Amino acid sequence: DAMVIQNPRYQVTQFGKPVTLSCSQTLNHNVMYWYQQKSSQAPKLLFHYYDKDFNNEADTPDNFQSRRPNTSFCFLDIRSPGLGDAAMYLCATSRDRGAGTEAFFGQGTRLTVV
């Protein structure tokens, strides 16, 4: 039944060691988003894809990259994780962009940096 699936649910990585988080969707939605959510804070948008068009938020660090090889999959790459990158990472999809388009979230990947 899961429509937006994130793997793994929990990821532990070493300081400075590249890590990749994955997201897949069965909704065939055009838009895929990556959010970072730290404890007791609002989700913060890192970037989104509208189809193959990549849209980076102005304040997203260069350390964060993303790939969308096809409609169903999207990856978040953290090139050199720091302690401050420990957070819940949420993937979301929506059929289209724009007001009124519902976003569907995955369960998230909790990243720990040691």
Binding mask 37-66 for another protein (x = CB under 8 A): ---xxxx-x--x------------------
- 4 is a contact residue toward another protein (CB under 8 A): yes
| One residue of 52, 67, 79, 97 binding another protein per CB under 8 A | 97
Rounded to the nearest whole angstrom, what is the least distance from the CB of residue 98 to another protein in the complex? 5
CB atoms within 10 A of CB 111: 21
Q: Residue 91: enclosing H or E segment and its boundaries? A: strand 87-94
Q: Per the structure block, which two tokens stand in for 69?
A: 């090889």
Nearest-angstrom CA–CA distance, 75 and 89: 11
- 108 is a contact residue toward another protein (CB under 8 A): yes
Contact 25, 88 (CB under 8 A): no
- 67 is a contact residue toward another protein (CB under 8 A): no
Rounded to the nearest whole angstrom, what is the least distance from the CB of residue 105 to another protein in the complex? 3
